[in-house]
Structure 1
C-alpha cells in the first residue's frame, strides 16, 4: 500500500515527489534488492495488487511509475477529480512557487501557460496540469473517485510479530512472504460521478484483483480518449527482437500503445530461429537490459540460445510488451502517404515541421500478410495505417550467396545446397535428420560456420567427418581460455573511447586520440612507432595470450590480420565447445581454399591458387557466407527513393557502409515520421538498443526537438567523413555498426540530446553530447523550452 498524503504545501516542487515515486516503484519491481528475482518470480510479483491512497501530485507520480514497471495499481481518492489540494482552494489562489521548478520532470507546462508568462499560475491551471499528466500516462484509468479510505488494517501477522522482525516486511521484500495483506475500509460516496450508486462502505483488500472497474471508470476512459490526441497517434514497430522489445517498452512507458508486427510465433528475433547448439557469444553480464537482470538459474557466462530466448520473453511479459505484439504478421512493404517525394525532398524541417508526427496529414500504409499462425484464421493480406513507423528489422534477414560461373554453381551439384540461415531456421529434429549419416561441407570461417561444423561433428563423428572450407580464418576465442584473464577493462571502457577520433572532438581530445590511437592499430602515427607500441602494449598482449592458449597455429587457423583490427570491426567470435578437440579427433576436417570454389556433381572444387584443384566430396553443402546487412532495411520501403537513401552505399572494400546516414543513428533527415532502432550494434548490443529506444520514445513524446534538415545532414556527413577515414586507417576493418568505442560515442550522443544545464536554459548542453557530436549540430536546440535536465525514466 502506498500513502500519498503529504502536507499540503503549495510551495513544494515536484522533483522530490517524482523521485520518491520512482524509488517506490523501484522497490516494488526489485530494482532495489539484495537478491535479484528470476523472470518468473518477477512476473509473479507483477500480479500483486497495489493500492494508492490519494490522487494528488504524489499519488499521480506513484501510479505513473508503477504503471511503467508493469504493475496495475488502484488509486482511491475522495474527490471527483485528480489534483489533491488544487481542486479545493480559493478562487484567487495561485502557485506560490515559480512554475519552472514546480513541474514533473518528464511533463512540461502547456504552451498556453508558458506563453502567458505566468510565473505563478492560477490554481485552475495547476489543476488542469495535474489532470493532463494523469491522462497522458494512463493514470486516470486506475483512479476510483469518490472513494474515501476510512481505515487500513494489516492482516497476516500480529503487531508483536511485526515488531520482532529484523527485516522489513519479514524478509526485506516489498510483498513479504505473501501471507500479509492490507484490508482497506472504503466508503464509496457515489457523488459527482454520474453512476447513480448509493453511498456504501466496503472492505477492500489489497489482495483484491484490480481489474474490476466500476462504471464511472469506463466513462473516464472515454473522456481520456477524447483528450489524449497525442497518445492516440498510431505507432507501428516492425520486429519483435531485442530492439523491438526495447522500443515497445519505452513507448508504453511514455503512454503510447504501439503495435508490433513480427513474422514469427514468439519474441526474440534471431534467438528463436537458431541451431540447437548455439550459445550467446557475448558474456551474459553486458548482454542484458539495464533494468532486467538475468535469472539466477542462468549460471553460464555464455547462455544457451533457449535461455536467451526465455530471457527476451520474460522481459516482454514483465513490461506488457507481449500484449502489443501481433505474431505471424509479415510486413511486405511500407508506403508514405500524404506528400509526394518531391515535396518531402523540399522540406527544410524533418517531417515538414520538425515534429515526430508532422502536421497530421502524413501517414504510413503497411501492407501486412497475416499468416494465421496459431489462431485458426486463413492467411490474408491487409493494409494498416500508422502515424509513425519504427523499424527494428536487424541485419540478419537476407542471406548472401556467392556467384559462380555458368554450369559451376549449385545446379551442377547432385546433393542439397542451403544457406546457414535456412539451416538455423529449421526445426532441430529436421536439421539433425538432414545431416545424419551425410558428408557435410560447411563453407565459411565465421561463428555460424564453426557452430554448424561442430554440430555436424557431434552428430556423425569420425565416420562422416564434416569438412570446413575457408579462405581466411577469423579470431575465434575459446570461452574457457578467455575467462581466465579479463581484458575487458582495457578495451571496453570509457578509456577505449579516448583512443578513437570522433567528429567535433576538439583540439584536446584530438591530440589525446592521436597519442593513444596506435594502441588500436589505427596507423595515423609513424608506422614504426605504431608497430612498436602495438607489439608491447594492450592489443599485442591480448593477441599473444590467445595464440599461446588456443591451438590455432597448429591447425593453420591463425588470421591474416591482427587482433586489434579484428576488435575494431568486432570480428571476434567464440569457438564452439571442444572445437579443436573435434579437429584432433578427425570429426572436423579443415580445408583452406586459396582462391574461389565451385560445384561439381560430387561436391566442391577448390581453387588452390594455380596448384591442382582439390575436389571435396559432399552430400550436403551449407553456405555460411554471411548476410546482406542493408537488405532488410531497404526492403521495407515501397518507394525506390527511400530504399536508396535509407542506407549509404557500401564502400569498395567492405560489405557495409562506413556510417549509416541516420541522425543519432535513428532518424533519416529525408524520411518523415520514421525511425530505426537496433541497426547499429556493439559487443553488448542491447545497451545501444535501449538508448536508441529511449531517444525515439522521447522524440515521439515531444521532449526532443530536432534541428533543421540541413543541420541534420551536416551532422550525418561529418560522421560519414569520419567513418571513411576510419575505414582507410584500419585497412577496411572498421565497422561503425559494430565498433565498441564508436557505439559508446553514439549512445553518449543520444543521451546528450536530453541533457541541458541544471538551470534548464536553452543554448547550453552537457559535455557528454558535445564530446561526440559534430559542432555543426545544434544539439541544445533539440530540447524544448522550459525543460529542466531531462532524465531517463529507467
Structure 2
C-alpha cells in the first residue's frame, strides 16, 4: 500500500510517523521548503512571532516524544517549531518528505468505486518540476481552517479597500507590536490569539481596546500553587458527574473572574462547559492595570478624517487608528481536491466524516486534524494517525465493512460522550472533548489505558493515571504501539513537573 500525505505540519508529521511504523509506504507533500506547517514563520505560517502555546508542554507533547525539560511550561512558537522538526528527524519523516510542492489536484481514479486509488499532481513552486503519481490512499493533513473570517461582511468589504488595507487587518497579518506603536488599536475577538495579541499590543500602542462578543472566563495560566492550570485536565475530573464538575468549576472560576468584573469583563452566566475559557496571565494583568479596555461586541466601523469610528452593540462609539480582527478562520475549501471527495455537511450541520476522519464515500481518503478540540490538539492528531495506520494496515475488506455503516448514526453512538457543546462557536467543524475522543479511538485499536486494572495491580501507577495530568503518554502503556518504558518515564516526569512551585517562578515558566 502507498499513501500520499498532504501537509507538513503536526498532523502530517504524526501521520507519516505512524504509517512508517506500521510498514506502510508513504510520501509527504508540503508547499513550504521546510517542515512545520503553520508554526513556521514563512509565507504560509499563521503564527505571530511571540506566540506561545495555550496548553502546557506535558499535555501538548506527542505520546512518544517528550518536550525538553528545560523548555518553559508554555513554549514559544519557535520552540514548538524546533520540537516538531526534531520529532520528524527522530522518526525518519524527513526521508519521505517532498517539500516546496504546490498540490494542483487530487482525483479519484474510479469515482464510482468506494475503494478507488488516487492520482496526485503537484508542481514545485520554484523550479516548476511536476509530480504526477498514483497512490492507494490519501491523507489530507492541511488543517481545518485557512480562510480568514471577518466580524461581518461590511468589515470584510472595508478591509478590501486599498486605502484601508493597512488600517483594518486580520490576525493572520499580525507578526509583532512595533508597527502599532503610538496608535489607538481595537482588537476584535476574544479567542486565545486575540487575548494574547491585545496584551502584547498594550506595551506598544497608545491604547488598546478588546471587543468581546460574549462573556468568557479569563484565567491565569497557573493556579494559586503555581501549577499549570490545565493539569486539572485529569481522567478523574472527566469521570465526575456533569453537575458536580459544573459546581466546582463555577466556584473556582468565579473567584478569579470577580477581580475583572469591575474592569468591564462580565462574569458568564451560562454553564461553564458552554462558555469559552481562555488562559492568559498577560491579558488579566493588562486589564487590571488599565492597559487594555473592554467593550461589547462590534456593530459597525465607519471612516472619518481622523481615523476609524467603531460602534458597539451597547451604542457606544470609539475612535481608533487601526482595527485588528482576531475572529478566526473559515474551513479550508480544498480547491485542489476533487468535488466528489470534499467533506459534506452531516444532518447535524457538521462536516460529515466517519469518526471525524474518514470520507464516508471513499474509505481510502481521510482527514487528520479536521476537528476542534477542547484540550491539546497534537495528541488528538497523533491518535487519529494511529487509528488510520491500524485500519489501513488491515485487509481492505475489513475497512470496507467498517465504513459501510451509516456514518452519522455510527458516530452518534460511538462518540456520544466526546462532543463538547460550545454554542458560541459558529463552525461546521465538530468540536470534541480531548479525553473522550482519544478514549473512543484508542478503544478501537486496543491501546486505551487499563486504569481500573492498574488500580488493582499497581495502585500507585493507577492512581497517577487517574489523578495526574492527562498526558498522551498513557496511550502508550497498553496494546498496539505500546512503549511502556518510555510512557512511564513521560508520565512520571509530567507528575513531577506538576508539583507546586512559587508563583513568581511559575510566571517565568510561562515563557
Q: How high is the TM-score relative to the length of structure 1? A: 0.50
For residues 128-153 of structure 1, what are the alpha-carbon distances to aligned partners after superposition, in whole Å with 9 as ceiling and x for unaligned? xxxxxxxxxxxxxxxxxxxxxxxxxx
Deviation of 1:310 after TM superposition, in Å, equals: 0.9
For residues 412-444 of structure 1, what are the alpha-carbon distances to aligned partners after superposition, in whole Å with 9 as ceiling and x for unaligned? 7645222102325xxxxxx45532343332211
Measure, in 1, the Cα distance between the counterparts of 2:418 and 2:66.
35
- Is 2:45 the partner of 1:281? no
- Is 2:298 the partner of 1:573? no
For residues 572-615 of structure 1, what are the alpha-carbon distances to aligned partners after superposition, in whole Å with 9 as ceiling and x for unaligned? 3221x43233335444332223x622332421431334x4x514
Q: Following superposition of structure 1 onto structure 2, how do residues 66-465 of structure 1 map, counting pairs within 5 Å?
A: 233-272=1-40, 273=45, 274-298=47-71, 300-337=72-109, 339-340=110-111, 343-344=112-113, 350-351=114-115, 362-372=116-126, 378-379=127-128, 382-405=131-154, 409-410=158-159, 414=164, 415-424=166-175, 431-460=176-205, 464-465=206-207
Measure, in 1, the Cα distance between the counterparts of 2:94 and 2:67.
19
8 Å Cα contact 1:661/1:717 also seen in 2: no
- Is 2:302 the partner of 1:599? yes
8 Å Cα contact 2:62/2:382 also seen in 1: yes
Q: Which residue of 2 aligns with 1:775?
A: none
SS across alignment from 1:590? strand
Q: Which residue of 2 aligns with 1:748?
A: 442
Measure, in 1, the Cα distance between the counterparts of 2:381 and 2:420.
28
For residues 355-397 of structure 1, what are the alpha-carbon distances to aligned partners after superposition, in whole Å with 9 as ceiling and x for unaligned? xxxxxxx42222324222xxxxx34565443221011122232
SS across alignment from 1:397? strand
Q: Point out the structure with the larger strand share.
A: 2
User: Any stretches of 5+ residues in structure 1 without a counterpart?
Assistant: 1-232, 345-349, 352-361, 373-377, 425-430, 500-515, 521-533, 652-656, 756-788
For residues 488-519 of structure 1, what are the alpha-carbon distances to aligned partners after superposition, in whole Å with 9 as ceiling and x for unaligned? 676531562x46xxxxxxxxxxxxxxxx2333
Over 3 Å counting, the alpha-carbon distance change for 1:733 and 1:699 in structure 2 is: same
Over 3 Å counting, the alpha-carbon distance change for 1:604 and 1:260 in structure 2 is: farther
Measure, in 2, the Cα distance between the counterparts of 1:365 and 1:622.
41
Measure, in 2, the Cα distance between the counterparts of 1:700 and 1:722.
20
8 Å Cα contact 2:217/2:257 also seen in 1: no
8 Å Cα contact 2:447/2:480 also seen in 1: no
Instruction: Return the structure number with greater relative CO, CA threshold 8 A, min gap 6.
Output: 2
SS across alignment from 1:697? helix
8 Å Cα contact 1:332/1:367 also seen in 2: yes
Q: Which residue of 2 aligns with 1:543?
A: 253
CA RMSD of aligned residues (A): 3.5
Measure, in 1, the Cα distance between the counterparts of 2:369 and 2:154.
37
8 Å Cα contact 1:698/1:704 also seen in 2: no
The size of the alignment, in residue pairs, is 443
Over 3 Å counting, the alpha-carbon distance change for 1:752 and 1:624 in structure 2 is: same
Over 3 Å counting, the alpha-carbon distance change for 1:406 and 1:291 in structure 2 is: closer
Measure, in 1, the Cα distance between the counterparts of 2:143 and 2:156.
34
8 Å Cα contact 1:265/1:328 also seen in 2: yes
SS across alignment from 1:458? coil
Q: How high is the TM-score relative to the length of structure 2? A: 0.75
For residues 313-349 of structure 1, what are the alpha-carbon distances to aligned partners after superposition, in whole Å with 9 as ceiling and x for unaligned? 1111111112222222232432111x23xx33xxxxx
